[in-house]
Amino acid sequence: MAKVIMIQGTMSGVGKSLLCAALCRIFRQDGLRAAPFKSQNMALNSYVTRDGLEMGRAQVMQAQAAGVEPDVRMNPILLKPCSDTGSQVIVNGEVLGQMSAARYFQYKTQLIPHILAAYHSLAADYDVIVIEGAGSPAEINLKQNDIVNMGLAAMVNAPVLLAGDIDRGGVFAQLFGTAALLEPEEQARIKGLIINKFRGDVEILRPGLAMLEEKTGLPVLAVVPYLQVDVDDEDSLAPGLEQRGFRKPLDAAVIRLPRISNFTDFAPLQAHSLIGVRYVRRPEELGRPDLLILPGTKSTMSDLLWLRQNGLEAAIRKLAAAGTPILGICGGYQMLGRTLQDPAGTEGDGPRFLRGMELLPADTVFSSQKTRTRVEGVVQNGILSGAHVVGYEIHSGHTTIDSSTQFEPAAAAGGKDSSGPADAAGSEIPSGWDTGGVSAFCRLSDGRTEGCVRENVSGTYLHGLFDSGEAAEMLAKDLCRRKGISYAKAALVERTAYLDAQYDILADGVRSAMDMKALYRILEDGA
């Protein structure tokens, strides 16, 4: 069976995911087969594996760092919040159902067999398992029947490294207080402390480190510097270059929906030398971007209402009427259509019918059946025309297209009202379909067509469009042409090669800060 090491944190956001990724990369560099593991993840950013199962993006990122294929065993439980008090529960990549927080708290121990089966199966295939905890082990109201922090560490007999975030301040109190709130047997599992995101001269910190070690009886194994690495971040939207004081010639505005999901779709655009990506929450922030993107969301109808109520829908329609390229992905694609229906309440307790933005002749009906599939194809029409794409679909809802729709101009249609579903549900796109200025977005490798394009508005279910680099390059060229500026071609870098270099930077930064002899001793000795 594999050796095991676990990273827990004093709170959410201390950098557990990146520290685990760094260890996965370090072990790979040292010739070991490593795999990440997190028993329970909560995030709206998810991923579809090659066998069509759903898992959290953090473990995908860590698997990439380890140089192995993402596997749903690495994240057997995924919670996707659908409200402030409830989540969709996904077990072994399949939807189990919707649960309130209270119900899940009572139910979660029934999932322990799934957790242990996934872990032991991984441990039989790899040399090292790197486990990530969640939140803090000292959340004393949640410690009963814990399945993700010290409870999991006890189940698999894992030694623990406890990480704190010095960039937020109060790191000594974080680490000391967390350890103090644990039971003696839990404290005994902690084999070392990590101070993360340090800026400055470490020598100034050393007196505090000595006092911390004296008070906790635990060694500080690493003071990790604040590392500037660009890898997919599951839980937060990093500020774009525009917000950091830099300017790029092309402006891509992404609507920051309340329940935005899979925003890692746009990481390759943020990395492009010509495209500035910014996230917008209010109409006054929108301006006149060169491209507007409506991203995926866990709750399409609720987020469409939010757009409608805060004025962003009207602003988006004005941009569409003015010729600004609009791209809707997954839930964003559904919003751009004519109607959205949820007869079974799949999206929760919200409306059962909504009129869409009516920029595409698309009608969506939600159901409990979830589409999860990997796809490959070539974009046929719109701003990415000609680009080869490899991506995945992950959505609840079936969209049909009515190619006979006669559209009013986009600006004029905003005043229409509707109290019920459209008269015709439409029809799926026939192969080779291109009628009345409305065409398919993409032709898939199996011959099917996918998505919809009408003039400057495009919609698709495909996540990961830009990961190959080719689509981002096509986009930059087209936007430059539209804007009338010269295109200075940046080197086309495959996203995988770019990420590979970033993982090496991450691993090198953590390795140089870590007492590696102590780390390997802990790995060998176990708990």
The answer to whether residue 24 is catalytic is no
Our answer to whether residue 114 is catalytic in this structure is no
CA-to-CA dists, residue 489 to 270, 332, 473, 477, 480, angstroms: 16, 29, 8, 8, 11
Residue of 20, 272, 442, 463 with catalytic role: 463
Among candidate residues 146, 136, 159, the one with its CA nearest the CA of residue 109 = 146
Cα distance between residue 326 and residue 320, in whole Å: 7
Q: How far apart are CA 56 and CA 354, in angstroms?
A: 30
Contacts of 14 (CB under 8 A, 6+ apart): 163, 164, 165, 174, 196, 197
- Report the chain's terminal Cα–Cα distance, integer Å: 15
Q: What is the rounded CA–CA span in Å between residue 335 and residue 506?
A: 38
Please, what's the b/e burial string for 262-297 (b: 16 or more CB within 10 A of its CB; e: otherwise)? bbbbbbbbbbbebbbbbbbeebeebeebbbbbbbbb
Contacts of 307 (CB under 8 A, 6+ apart): 255, 257, 313, 316, 335
**How far apart are alpha carbons 398 and 369 in whole angstroms?**
9
Give the contacts of 379 (CB within 8 A, at least 6 positions apart).
385, 386, 387, 389, 441, 442, 471, 474
Rounded Cα distance between 457 and 443, Å, is: 17
Q: Which of 20, 82, 330, 452 is catalytic?
A: 330
Q: How far apart are CA 191 and CA 221, in angstroms?
A: 9
3-state secondary structure of 433: coil
Q: Which residues are catalytic?
A: 330, 463
